[in-house]
Structures are given as C-alpha cells and as structure tokens.
Amino acid sequence: MPRFSPTMVPATPVSIAQAAALVADGDVCAFPTETVYGLGADATQEAAVLRIYELKGRPRRNPLIVHVPDVAWAMRVCAAFPPLASRLAERHWPGPLSLVLPRGAHIPDIVSAGLPSVAVRVPAHPVALSLLRAARRPLAAPSANRSESVSPTTAEHVLRSLPGVPLILDGGPCPLGIESTVLDLTQPRPRLLRPGALPLRDLLSDVPDLELPSCHFDEVPGPLPSPGLLTRHYAPKATLHLVSNPEARFVAGLPSPTGLLTHAPLPQLDGLCDVVERLPATPEAYAVDLYAALHRLDDQGMRSIVVLAPPRNEDWRAIFDRLERAASKAA
C-alpha cells in the first residue's frame, strides 16, 4: 500500500514548493513537461532514483534523462560540455532535445544504467522549470507511467497509471505530446538515439553530419517489419495493428470492440469500427493528441486498435517509431 493516498493538485507556487520539498527529501513527484508528464527524483540520490524504477516497473538497464533548469546546471551534471552541445543548447533549450554527454561525478550509476554517459535537457514547461528552480537540484525524470505502457500527457493519465505517486502537479495537457529527441554527443560523430518532439528537420540544419540509425521507412514501401523484432513500448492494453491500407475484411475479423486511429478518411471501413479517433494529418499536431487518443480508446474498452500507418518519411519518423513499438508484441 502507498504511504500516502495519491494527490493530484493544480500546479501553484505552493504545490510546486511542496513538490520541491518532497524531492529534496528523497521522494518522487510527477510534473508536466512540454513533452509528456515526468516522474522526478533527485538525480544525485541513488535511493530516490531507485524509487522511480520500482514505481514504473522499469528495467534497470534503461537509463533516465536528467532535467535541469539551465545550461549552467547541465554543465554540472556532465563531465564535459563540448562546443556543439553549447550551440545546440543555445538554439533548442529550453526545449525537447536531450543530449547524451559524459556523466559528471555527482550523478550515480543508477541514473545512467551504469553507462559512463548521461542524458540531460532543460524542459520548456513553466511548471517543470519552476519545480527545478525551487528544488535546486537536477531531477532524473522518465515518463510518469508504468513501463511499456502509453505515456501520460495529462495528470489524470499519471494518476491512473501510477497510483503510488505521492504528489502529481497538474499543469493541464502537455503541449507537444511525445517524448524528447535524444542525441548522442559522446562519439566523434553525433548520433540520433531517439526521434522525438524536436523535428529532425530542425536538428539536421544544425548538425548536417548527424548519424541516423537505419529505419524501416528507408526501405522500399512494402509490408511493415515483423513486430516481434521491435521493443514493446508506448503500448495500449488493446492489440494495436499498424496498417498501411486497412481492408474491410481484415478489420471485420479482429476481436471487437475495435477502435480506429486515423489521419485520413477511410470510407472502406465505414461502420466497421466501434470508435473512430480522427487525428490531424500533420506530424506535430498528430503527436499532440496521439497518446491521449490511445488512452481514450483503452478507457472505452477496445480489444483491437487499427492505426492507419503515417507516411514513411523523415517528418513522421518520431510518430512512426512510437506506433511501431506500440504495435510490437510483448517479448
């Protein structure tokens, strides 16, 4: 049983001060960022960070991102801060870009899953920034949900996924809706580790020699890769089918109730799905509502969710990554 009943409170100077006191004391709290809600703990206290892994059921080999209020703090968290990191920080912080750099001495192994590096970012949400300033310490903060499940973009999502969190600061829906872009700067050539809310286009203009991991939409259009090859993540309770051209026969054969998530009209499916979530046809606007739409479909008890696959191009890469992982089967 949790020590406290879960408390979801509007983010105000008073509740933010309470949250800052909690994390200083080695506890955790959930707070809004511009990407998704985070579950934060003092990144310098090993036992506090351990609580994050326990509450989320997160595998210990999955490192966390450290959130800081400004570049000066980022420099304290990292053992080195090369000129490219400074340039990117100047352009994109506060914002949805996480930089992986050599880990500073004050950051314990557990934050980075034992790696010699650490991921760091300055979030752009006013509540996150106020909390970081009030706490006067870096906060390790992954998404505030059970491991593998759909990330939270509202305080209610956090409450339902993690009832054991002692304090949830409610700052309304997250403005961007998917996780940060993660960039590795520890190698001679910068490398994209995770596509995310910072559009790749923006990053490529700053880092033209950016190494992009090979990815499925580099291939000639064809069937999607075997879902079993992908790490399951961001997954709703319903079975998710990512389909380029959903045919009526396929959809009619799925266990019902069936939900449809689409960014374009699909007249061939008229009347075949129990609930239809229509998302915008641009990647940034689609991202804002993606997780919330998956939560809504789960809340309505869907057993199957059919997702119209987005275009296979760089602009949709972050969304494609999330949908592919959500569609992959449990290991």
Chain residues 286-305 in contact with ligand AMP, contact rule CB under 6 A: none
Cβ proximity to ligand AMP, 36 vs 238, nearer residue: 36
Cβ proximity to ligand AMP, 9 vs 79, nearer residue: 79
Three-class secondary structure of residue 219 per DSSP? coil
When CB distances are held under 5 to 8 angstroms depending on the partner's kind, the choice from ligand AMP, Mg ion, none that residue 272 binds is none
Cβ proximity to ligand AMP, 192 vs 306, nearer residue: 192
Chain residues 145-204 in contact with ligand AMP, contact rule CB under 6 A: 179, 182, 193-194
Cβ proximity to ligand AMP, 148 vs 289, nearer residue: 148
Distance CA 203, CA 191 (A): 11
One symbol per residue from 47 to 66: x for binding ligand AMP (CB under 6 A), - otherwise; what is it? ---------------xxxx-
Distance CA 241, CA 245 (A): 11
Residue reference for tokens 């509740």: 15
> Least distance in Å: CB of 56 to Mg ion?
8
Strands 139-140 and 97-102 turn out to be: unpaired
Please check whether residue 327 is in contact with residue 319, taking contact to mean a CB–CB distance below 8 angstroms: no
Cβ proximity to ligand AMP, 5 vs 187, nearer residue: 187
Within 10 angstroms of residue 222's Cβ, the number of other Cβ atoms is: 8
Distance CA 120, CA 303 (A): 38
Distance CA 309, CA 77 (A): 39
When CB distances are held under 5 to 8 angstroms depending on the partner's kind, the choice from ligand AMP, Mg ion, none that residue 294 binds is none
Query: Does 112 interact with ligand AMP (rule: CB under 6 A)?
Result: yes
> Least distance in Å: CB of 295 to ligand AMP?
17
Q: Which two tokens stand for residue 78?
A: 């990292």
> Least distance in Å: CB of 35 to ligand AMP?
8
- Give the residue, chosen from 15, 45, 117, 149, that forms a contact with ligand AMP under the rule CB under 6 A: 117
Three-class secondary structure of residue 176 per DSSP? coil
Distance CA 320, CA 217 (A): 9
Distance CA 22, CA 245 (A): 49
Cβ proximity to ligand AMP, 103 vs 263, nearer residue: 103
Query: Does 268 interact with ligand AMP (rule: CB under 6 A)?
Result: no
> Least distance in Å: CB of 49 to ligand AMP?
12
Let me know how long the chain is: 331
Chain residues 95-154 in contact with Mg ion, contact rule CB under 5 A: 143
When CB distances are held under 5 to 8 angstroms depending on the partner's kind, the choice from ligand AMP, Mg ion, none that residue 100 binds is ligand AMP
> Least distance in Å: CB of 151 to Mg ion?
5
Query: Does 100 interact with ligand AMP (rule: CB under 6 A)?
Result: yes
Cβ proximity to ligand AMP, 78 vs 269, nearer residue: 78
Residue-by-residue DSSP string for 1-21: --SS---EEE--HHHHHHHHH
Please list, in sequence order, all residues whose beta carbon lies within 8 angstroms of the beta carbon of residue 261, skipping any fewer than 6 positions away.
277, 279, 293, 294, 297, 305, 306, 307, 308
Within 10 angstroms of residue 201's Cβ, the number of other Cβ atoms is: 9
Distance CA 178, CA 34 (A): 9
Query: Does 142 interact with ligand AMP (rule: CB under 6 A)?
Result: yes
Which residue's C-beta sits nearest to ligand AMP? 142
Amino acid at 319: I
- Give the residue, chosen from 45, 130, 143, 149, that forms a contact with ligand AMP under the rule CB under 6 A: 143
What is the binding site for ligand AMP (CB under 6 A)? 62-65, 100, 112, 115, 117-119, 142-143, 179, 182, 193-194
Interacting residue ranges for Mg ion, rule: CB under 5 A: 143
